[in-house]
Structure 1
Amino acid sequence: MPQSLIKDILIIFACSIPVVLLLKRIHLPLVVGFLFTGALIGSHGLGLITNAQSVDTLAELGLALLLFSVGLEFSLDSFAFIRKRAMTVALAQIILTCGAGWLMGHWLGWPLGRSLYFGCVISLSSSAIVLSIFYEKKMGDSVPGRLTTTILIVQDLAFIPMIVLLPLLGPDTPNDSLLLMTLANRGVAILVLIAIVFFGRLIINQVMRHIATLGQRQMFVIAVLILGLGISWLTASMGLSFALGAFVGGLLIGFTSYKHQALAEVAPFRHCFNSLFFVSIGMLLNIQFVWDNFSIILLVLLLIPLTKLFITVGISTLVKIPLRVGIVTGLALAQIGEFSFLLVHNGFRAGVIGPYLHDLIIAVAVFNMMLTPFLILNAHKWAAHINQLLLTTKRFTKFACDDKQTISPIRQKLVDHVIICGFGPLGETLSHLFDKHNTPYVVLELNPKTIQRIRKKNVIAFYGDGTSEEILYESRIENAKLIAITVPDFLDNIAIIKQARSLNPDLQIITRSKYRSDVDKLYAAGANVVISEELEGGIEMARYGLKMVGIPVNEVDQLMTHIREYGSADFFN
């Protein structure tokens, strides 16, 4: 690897840490810190990074991993659950926003192709930023959260025809015969992708199950990366985008029951390269251009969120979605997304957009993304105020609804439940006892055969372990009463305890320890009760031994009761 590239990466991370920590103190998200870092160290800022092309290469890989995770999180249940109204809002929002962008460009005197391209760019929103905020604030299961997620998924899918067809609007568009040939080639490429998704969906679950059955975590990670990178290479060789292939690869794994574990496994890579992606976007910000064109940037920066808000609210109202929901959804979708940067990059390369429009979109997008957390976190409060004002007329009262009604049916069952991490003999014993007392529980297990077996008994089970924040969230840990950690590995135990405690401070945590010397460490990590296998074995042997040497049974039973009142691991502490 070239020394200059290593130096640039070191500069990026070295500058990112203090900037992100500073902004975190004023409660701004990581994305804002990375964007600000890029603007600060880029060639238009302090000029600390000179090899922008190398960083762009890493950023493209970061975007591919980001889109791979977006594909992993794709779920057909999101469409089936909200059904026709959400799909209507999603499709109409994209079409009308494209039209509004075209009108905006026409008003500013841009050519037809450039205006249409601009409309497509602003019609897409950021799945990465919006979903991360929803996830952090536990907003994903609300009505606005599920509606926004559905719209984002439809936007992500709409990006595919955009990336294929829009570059043909450039000045270098071939003549009619070559144009038809180009369209035919790209049509064939899309059909190949559709075939991969259709046929791959039929076999991918069996393939991933066989790999998971090997019990080798490294093989699982390698298989996930091979699938993502392999399809990315295929799409790039067919003249499509590398990142598009990563999205399709994630989409395939997202159809399987191993999606949550795959998402957990690629999380370290994703977070690392995503930071490079957002820093590189910030580096594209031309500070001098912002200064020279401040008024037009401010105008477009205001027009884009307002346009997307009014369109979303208008369509939502027409299909009888509550006004408050439409407002929150419109504010959540107010930014320009990561797919838009790929469109801008390809459009600039194809000559559809020139340097001026390129710099304008980048400037607006960077500031727009920085405002997104502020808009989302205040959306409910603003929507409530607006809703209260408009409810003076009875027209809007019929649109009222309860957010809890749209929580996924599976996750809706998980209230005051137990999470069992590991379903070996110990975990299965616990499940039988919980069944006898009608206590709801969910199982996290890494053995795919075990998952299949217990799902046949209508037990809610997920493939993965409790070290993953994503899987614990899917298990609805925020509403759980207890997590029982039955896995024997000490380090896994520590990681699960810390992760669970961070997500639910009031959660009761019970776990096991093979050695007495590890008990205190597990308590320090946050466990409420630790069962020491050495002490439990010793106590049981002592119970039988004392009786065998003639100690009265009532005295032995009294001693055992006294020990268990303290908990076996605490009594001799």
Structure 2
Amino acid sequence: MEAELVLVLEMVVVLTAATVLGYLMNRLRQPVLLGYLLGGMLVGPVLGWIHAESDVRSLAEVGVALLLFALGVEFSIKDLLKVRTIALGGGLLQIVLTVLIGGGLVYLVVPEKTLSQAVFLGAVLSLSSTAVVLKSLTERNEVHTAHGQIMLAILIVQDLALGLMLAVLPALTQPPEVIGTALFRAVLTTVLFGVVAIPVGIWVIPLIMRHLARTGSPELFLLGVLVLCLGIALVTARIGLGIEMGAFVAGLMVSSVESADHALDRVLPMRDVFATVFFASIGLLIDPVFLWANGWLLLLLVAIVMVGKALIVTMIVRLFGYSLKTALTVGNGINQIGEFSFVLAGVARGLGVFSQEWYGLTVGTTAITLLATPFWFKLTPHFFALAEQLPGIGGMMRASQVPRYMEVEEGIANHIVVAGYGRVGRTLVRILQSQGHKVLVIDNDEATLPSLRQKQISYLYGDASSELVLEKAHLPGAKAMAIALPDPLATRLTLKRAMSLAPSLDVTVRAHMNQEIDTLYQLGAKEVVQPEFEASLEMGAHMLLQLGTPAHRAQQIVNDYRAGRYREIIPEQSEDAVAADLQAAIGGLGGQWYTLPDDSLLVGRTLAQANVRGLTGATVMVIKRLNRLYRYPDAETMLEGGDRLLVVGNMKEQAAFEQLLKGKEE
């Protein structure tokens, strides 16, 4: 068969395998790039169907260039500045420490190694996965939380540092006697390239992009963008900085022009196709027999990487003054090795720094940490729930959650507590103050402090879900409380702990997803507001008025939907989906099953009469009676002997509930 047809055939085979395995990973809720790796491994080393590996890898270089070009276009200096202190200080410190510690351990422990191998490996370990972390944060609705913003800030710095690594690290492959000169030359070349690139990016690139956009031809615009990307990449490759560096800089140049989003939109489909080829080409180089033979070593490396990196990041975030819980959350969130580490590992292999064995172990470790990340994210709330109840660790975690700054008058009373001072919280505070109400704000974003001080609003700077912070808010003397936090788990914890401190407090809560509504009501919220449903109700009311419906009737319809907890407009869910939502809802709250004895004083009482929350602080979330489950039972649900009760609460609340079951009220 002709060489051209062989390449086309093998490209089809690679892309087919990547598509099938990528689809399978997607259905299993795993990163699709793992499917691409496995697809390449399947048709390469396992089945031996690919023979034109060098040609496939040449096309994969285009994928690398487009990946880094898109990274440059998506780079946001605005997002970086939001948390610039932890981003620039913490992000750079994390990279340096990971390179020093990771590379240093390799250099000290591994026989027959070189300095360049140790540094390259340390650099590979220092990068985390922006794609996987962002996906996990988005699925959990935690992008705008404090820990989510810190994670993304550090990831942005890592992505930015990748360009510098690609420019400087190859100089380490030079002989020891000239390595200093090589490093100086690499840095000088990078600086000179930057001196030229900055004016080109400011004046030349925007001019070219505007002329391309004015043609009105999508094809010409796309071709122009590709020529810019690959052309600058070829220039940097020619001067010794590599195509990756040039593609990233090209993306940064384009990111500053008004048509940047349009350029990215046009390039993304091509990027995704060629990036698939890139990840599949990595799979072509992975020997499954080697991985199997070194399985225990791989698992040991994964454990060392994930635990070690988590400790480094946790220490740094804690150093910047964040609570131990936030620091641990960030550390456990970005403790994997990222997809761009494949790029660095490929460069190391191409330069002869990594042998095939080193490359296989690096890629295998990276793939496993990426696979473990989503599971790690899901286990984190349960880990915290357990850790907070342990005598030593729990005390440390609680002690670190004391408000760092506070401006609250002694003995404050008859006030309204607002947890969260984002867009929703600010508007709410403005409305309450306009009516003469005394407001106390709880927030953990340091950027909000100047505004609160200027407006002379009482505040607590800290985590609203912390018991120590809530105690300082004087909840028993408050009129009401509103919870408008961006973090779903923090919202549930804040509500749960607020109700434990002040069981009769009137609390209004913002729900992030419709699955949370019943949970929040069950935990004690007086009113739950779901922004998307509220928007639809207001739009519906406006349209009814325009169509001639009387104002009182339109308002009554809206109020009926609200009184019914939006149930009439919530999509139907299967029993399995409801069970999964419940399981997610109690994550981090601490749940335990109890059997209600026939002689318990609770038998024959409704939940309202039993007053479980008022007496113990715990909450009954589920009642299992015979073969039927009553999820989120209402206040009028009667308790019967033999009922199985799922109760959420901390160790103290669980102990009090056990006493209540035995008939000893506390």
Normalising by the smaller structure, the TM-score range is 0.5 to 0.7
Corresponding residue number in structure 1 for 2:156: 153
Contact kept, 8 Å, 2:324 with 2:401, in 1: the verdict is no
- Counterpart Cα distance in 1 of 2:164 and 2:77: 20
- Counterpart among 394, 398, 405 of residue 402 in structure 2: 398
Shift of 1:299: 1.0
- Counterpart Cα distance in 2 of 1:507 and 1:234: 52
Corresponding residue number in structure 2 for 1:298: 299
Tell me, what secondary structure is at the counterpart of 1:42? helix
Shift of 1:373: 2.9
Counterpart amino acid of residue 397 in structure 1: Q
Mark the runs of 5 or more structure 1 residues left unpaired by the alignment: 416-477, 481-503, 510-527, 532-559, 563-573
- Counterpart Cα distance in 1 of 2:255 and 2:280: 28
Contact kept, 8 Å, 2:80 with 2:156, in 1: the verdict is no
Tell me, what secondary structure is at the counterpart of 2:401? helix
Contact kept, 8 Å, 2:349 with 2:355, in 1: the verdict is yes
- Counterpart Cα distance in 2 of 1:42 and 1:205: 43
Corresponding residue number in structure 2 for 1:283: 284
Counterpart amino acid of residue 131 in structure 1: L
- Counterpart Cα distance in 2 of 1:505 and 1:257: 34
Tell me, what secondary structure is at the counterpart of 2:56? helix
- Counterpart Cα distance in 1 of 2:81 and 2:275: 30
Shift of 1:335: 2.2
Corresponding residue number in structure 2 for 1:332: 333
Corresponding residue number in structure 1 for 2:574: none
- Counterpart among 20, 23, 35 of residue 21 in structure 1: 23
- Counterpart Cα distance in 2 of 1:309 and 1:363: 19
Distance of aligned partners of 1:279 and 1:350 in 2 relative to their CA distance in 1, 3 Å threshold:
closer
Distance of aligned partners of 1:87 and 1:181 in 2 relative to their CA distance in 1, 3 Å threshold:
closer
Tell me, what secondary structure is at the counterpart of 2:55? helix
Corresponding residue number in structure 2 for 1:3: 5
- Counterpart Cα distance in 2 of 1:51 and 1:340: 24
Contact kept, 8 Å, 1:143 with 1:406, in 2: the verdict is no
Tell me, what secondary structure is at the counterpart of 2:263? helix
Contact kept, 8 Å, 1:297 with 1:364, in 2: the verdict is yes
Tell me, what secondary structure is at the counterpart of 2:400? helix
Tell me, what secondary structure is at the counterpart of 2:47? coil
Corresponding residue number in structure 2 for 1:253: 254
Alignment of 1:233-382 (within 5 A): 233-382=234-383
Corresponding residue number in structure 1 for 2:656: none
Counterpart amino acid of residue 247 in structure 1: F
Contact kept, 8 Å, 2:172 with 2:183, in 1: the verdict is no
Distance of aligned partners of 1:73 and 1:412 in 2 relative to their CA distance in 1, 3 Å threshold:
farther
Tell me, what secondary structure is at the counterpart of 1:93? helix
Alignment of 1:405-484 (within 5 A): none
Distance of aligned partners of 1:3 and 1:227 in 2 relative to their CA distance in 1, 3 Å threshold:
same
Deviations 1:406-442 (A, max 9, x none): 97x8x99999xxxxxxxxxxxxxxxxxxxxxxxxxxx
- Counterpart among 159, 163, 168 of residue 166 in structure 2: 163
Deviations 1:253-276 (A, max 9, x none): 222333333222222112212222
- Counterpart Cα distance in 2 of 1:224 and 1:414: 42
Distance of aligned partners of 1:7 and 1:381 in 2 relative to their CA distance in 1, 3 Å threshold:
farther
Contact kept, 8 Å, 1:142 with 1:406, in 2: the verdict is no
Is 341-350 or 360-369 further displaced after alignment?
341-350
- Counterpart Cα distance in 1 of 2:182 and 2:303: 41
Contact kept, 8 Å, 1:97 with 1:122, in 2: the verdict is yes
Contact kept, 8 Å, 1:336 with 1:369, in 2: the verdict is yes
Is 380-389 or 334-343 further displaced after alignment?
380-389
- Counterpart Cα distance in 1 of 2:421 and 2:95: 23
For the pair shown, the structure with the greater C-alpha radius of gyration is 2
Shift of 1:92: 1.2
Backbone CA RMSD of aligned residues: 3.9
Counterpart amino acid of residue 20 in structure 1: G
Corresponding residue number in structure 1 for 2:133: 130
- Counterpart Cα distance in 1 of 2:170 and 2:314: 31
Mark the runs of 5 or more structure 2 residues left unpaired by the alignment: 406-416, 429-510, 514-531, 550-666
Shift of 1:11: 1.0
Corresponding residue number in structure 1 for 2:82: 81
Contact kept, 8 Å, 1:189 with 1:238, in 2: the verdict is no
Contact kept, 8 Å, 1:173 with 1:179, in 2: the verdict is no
Distance of aligned partners of 1:143 and 1:185 in 2 relative to their CA distance in 1, 3 Å threshold:
closer
Corresponding residue number in structure 2 for 1:39: 41
Counterpart amino acid of residue 82 in structure 1: V
Distance of aligned partners of 1:400 and 1:367 in 2 relative to their CA distance in 1, 3 Å threshold:
farther
Shift of 1:159: 2.4
Deviations 1:100-135 (A, max 9, x none): 212321223344332222212211122343334445
Contact kept, 8 Å, 1:324 with 1:387, in 2: the verdict is no
Alignment length (residue pairs): 429
Corresponding residue number in structure 1 for 2:122: 119
Deviations 1:346-373 (A, max 9, x none): 3233333333322221221222222233
Q: Which structure carries more helix by proportion?
A: 1
- Counterpart Cα distance in 2 of 1:107 and 1:119: 14
Q: Which has the higher contact order (CA 8 A, sep 6+)?
A: 1
Distance of aligned partners of 1:384 and 1:193 in 2 relative to their CA distance in 1, 3 Å threshold:
farther
Shift of 1:75: 1.0
Contact kept, 8 Å, 1:286 with 1:363, in 2: the verdict is no
Alignment of 1:135-214 (within 5 A): 135=138, 138-170=141-173, 173=175, 176=178, 180=181, 183-184=184-185, 187-197=188-198, 199-202=200-203, 204-205=205-206, 207-214=208-215
Counterpart amino acid of residue 395 in structure 1: A
Distance of aligned partners of 1:100 and 1:384 in 2 relative to their CA distance in 1, 3 Å threshold:
farther
Contact kept, 8 Å, 1:321 with 1:399, in 2: the verdict is no
Counterpart amino acid of residue 198 in structure 2: V
- Counterpart Cα distance in 2 of 1:65 and 1:119: 25
Tell me, what secondary structure is at the counterpart of 1:2? helix
- Counterpart Cα distance in 2 of 1:319 and 1:353: 36
Deviations 1:359-399 (A, max 9, x none): 22122122222223333454455455545654434421137
Corresponding residue number in structure 1 for 2:431: none
Tell me, what secondary structure is at the counterpart of 1:115? helix
Shift of 1:61: 1.3
Shift of 1:319: 1.0
Counterpart amino acid of residue 396 in structure 1: S
Corresponding residue number in structure 2 for 1:517: none
Shift of 1:174: 7.6
Distance of aligned partners of 1:13 and 1:339 in 2 relative to their CA distance in 1, 3 Å threshold:
closer
- Counterpart Cα distance in 2 of 1:348 and 1:165: 16
Alignment of 1:88-127 (within 5 A): 88-105=89-106, 106-109=108-111, 110-127=113-130
Contact kept, 8 Å, 1:100 with 1:119, in 2: the verdict is yes
Counterpart amino acid of residue 99 in structure 2: C
Distance of aligned partners of 1:336 and 1:396 in 2 relative to their CA distance in 1, 3 Å threshold:
same
Alignment of 1:29-68 (within 5 A): 29-43=31-45, 45-68=46-69
Shift of 1:18: 3.1
Tell me, what secondary structure is at the counterpart of 1:398? coil
Distance of aligned partners of 1:58 and 1:317 in 2 relative to their CA distance in 1, 3 Å threshold:
same
